[in-house]
Structures are given as C-alpha cells and as structure tokens.
Amino acid sequence: MEPVLHPLFQQLEEQRQFLSQWVSAASPAKQETNPAPDKWSAAQVLYHIGFIEQKVLEELQRRLASQKPLRPTSLKTWYRSVVLKLFLRLPLKFKAPQVVREVPSVAHVPAVLEQWQKTRVQLRALLEQFPVDLLNKEIFFHPIAGMLTLPQTLAFLHQHHRHHIPQLKKLLH
C-alpha cells in the first residue's frame, strides 16, 4: 500500500473497530430500536456506514476496470473535498443522497458487521494494488461534492464515520 494511503486506511480501520465494538456492546434492544418511525436505529446507522463504504468500493472498482483516462486533480477537486469535509463536520442534520438513503427496515448488528468486514477486506486489497500514478487523479464521484481523488475519498469516508458518532451517542445512551 502506498505510504499516503496507509495512514488513511488505518484511520478507517480504527474507526470500524471502535464503532463495531461500541454498538456491539449495547443491548439488542438499544441496537435495533428506532427512536421514531422515520429515524434510524443504531444498527441501521451502522448498516448505512458500511453500505456507503461498499458503494465507494464498487465505484472505485468500476472506474479502475473501465481503464478510461482519469482527469488530474485540480484546485476545484481540492476545494470540493474541503467543502465536503466541513459540511460533514457541522452538527447539522441532513438527508443522505437518494442513492444511499435506503436502509433495511430491520438491521441486525452481527450481520451488518460481517458485511462491513468483507467490504473492508476488499477495500484493503484494492488499496494495496492501487496504481501510484492514479493517486492524483479524480477517481470517485461523490453525489454532492463531485469528483475526488482516492486520498480525498478515504478522508471523506473518515469524516462520514465521524459525522454519525453524535447520532449513535443519542441512540445508545
């Protein structure tokens, strides 16, 4: 794995382990209870986090397999990434993009964690094989921010995980 990717991946792995242990330690009732009919349970939030990562992985795999030339990073790419990070750090609630808004009506933490672990193994494999000459190319399309580089995409995943921590705190305490 390229040196620029390794610490980003480590951050994601530490977050996955922390969130997995934290939610797993709660009772099944706390994990699976929806606070309101249109609100997610802790298990559904965890499902959403893992699902986002799976969708990112699929998009990266698709872009790499297409072998189409990728655009080099630009000031716009950097700006979009910074705005996305700031947006995710705000303590505001906002709807997820439609493409990732759906969660199962009932989610069970063990199954969610098993799928997230499988996705993470695949992500690691992709990162270990990622061509160094593509690190500064736009490879991932975020539905709100637009095109991002791989390091920016991993930073987005990190911020996305962090964004959901206050939501999980309310659900689990």
Tens digit of each residue's pLDDT (9 = 90 or more) over 42-65? 999 999 999 999 999 999 999 999
pLDDT at residue number 76: 83
- What is the distance between the alpha carbons of residues 151 and 91, in angstroms, rounded to a whole number? 24
pLDDT tens, residue by residue, 63-82: 999 989 999 988 888 878 88
Distance CA 13, CA 133 (A): 24
Beta bridge partners of 142: 146
Q: How far apart are CA 139 and CA 60, in angstroms?
A: 7
The CA–CA distances, whole Å, from 142 to 139, 168, 170 equal 10, 24, 27
**pTM metric for this prediction:** 0.89
Q: What is the CA radius of gyration of the chain?
A: 16
